[in-house]
Amino acid sequence: MSTETVDAAIVRPPLAQLGSSRAAILALRLGSIIVPLLLWELGARLGWINTFLFPPPSKILATLWSQSGPNGNPPWAIPIHVGRSLIRLLAGVALAVVIGTIAGVVIGLNRWARAILRPIISALMPVPTLAWTPVLLLVMGIDDRTTIFVVFLAAVFEMIYTIVAGIEMMNVKLFWVAESMGATRLQIFVRVIIPAIFPYLITGMRLGTGYAWRALIAAEMLAASSFGLGFMIYDASEYMNMDVIYGGVMLIAVLGFLLENVLIGRLESATTEKWGVQNER
């Protein structure tokens, strides 16, 4: 579990504990992103750095802008690339959440399932997710199915592990109470287990989405035939189109940041606080 826990700590940078005013902090934070970009721009304009390898940020943004519009190649290229990547991510993560939750609950509650599945899962976990890509390519072809399956594999083990951890943290008495009041298995699952593991589910989703996003970009480079951000930057490297590559990398960074910190963070605070359960972390 140790690597996952560290990742959890990594994706959530603590607020800088500066004593000074908020405005100064904000200026400092914005500056840390804007100043390097300005230096880069200046260096490129004044010819201090190689503009082929480091095109100025203004040019990169201009390329991103023109590629996002009807004059792109193909038209509306950037929205399509982003959309395709997000759809693949969503499909893979959704699959991983559903299957991971079911598998996690079964492993957590059933002694036999645990004895049989745990070793198999811990044997599969250390395989780098992307190593499956060539095999999947042979089975499924250059296709959305391959990328979605890689995303699924990247997220599912994390889901299973966190859900099992959540079930192990549950109090046995909860089951006794529910059972003695005559709850059916389905009722126990919906009313007792799901609320109890919910914080873990969200944590698993956050970690899983992080892994999935990394895997998706690489999988798109290896296995996407037409669209997706990973495909976009890899394709651009074959034409040595540096603006598009840098633009894509920037988009990937911003989207990854938004996915991990904003979207899942919101989901986390909205659900765990509303449900009145505290996450361990």
* Residues of this chain, 210-249, that bind another protein according to CB under 8 A: 210, 213-215, 217-218, 221-222, 230, 233-234, 236-237, 240, 242, 245-246, 248-249
CA atoms of 267 and 205, how far apart (whole Å) = 10
- Helices (H), strands (E): how many in the chain? 13, 0
Query: How far is the C-alpha of 122 from the C-alpha of 114, rounded, in Å?
Result: 11
Per the CB < 8 A criterion, the answer to whether 157 and 121 are in contact is yes
Contact set for another protein, span 28-57 (CB under 8 A): 28-33, 36, 53
Instruction: Choose between 155 and 221: whose C-beta lies nearer to another protein.
Output: 221
Closest CB to another protein among residues 104, 132? 132
Q: Which is nearer to another protein, 149 or 193 (CB)?
A: 149
Range in contact with another protein (rule: CB under 8 A) among 155-163, 167-175, 176-184, 257-265: 257-265
Quote the Cα angle for 259-263-265, to 5°.
110
Q: How far is the CB of 41 from another protein (least distance, A)?
A: 16
Q: Give yes or no for residue 181 binding another protein (CB under 8 A).
A: no
* Encoded amino acid at 146, one letter: T
Which of 42, 139, 177, 267 is close enough to bind another protein by CB under 8 A? 139
Q: How far is the CB of 141 from another protein (least distance, A)?
A: 12
| Phi, psi dihedral angles at 106 (to 5 degrees) | -60, -45
Which among 251, 264, 184 is positioned nearest to 217, based on CA atoms? 251
Q: Does residue 251 contact residue 64 with C-beta atoms inside 8 Å?
A: yes
Range in contact with another protein (rule: CB under 8 A) among 66-74, 78-86, 116-124, 266-274:
116-124
Q: Please identify, using beta-carbon distances, which residue of 179 and 268 lies nearer to another protein.
A: 268
Chain centroid, CA 159 distance in Å: 12
The least distance separating another protein from the CB of residue 116, rounded to whole angstroms, comes to: 5
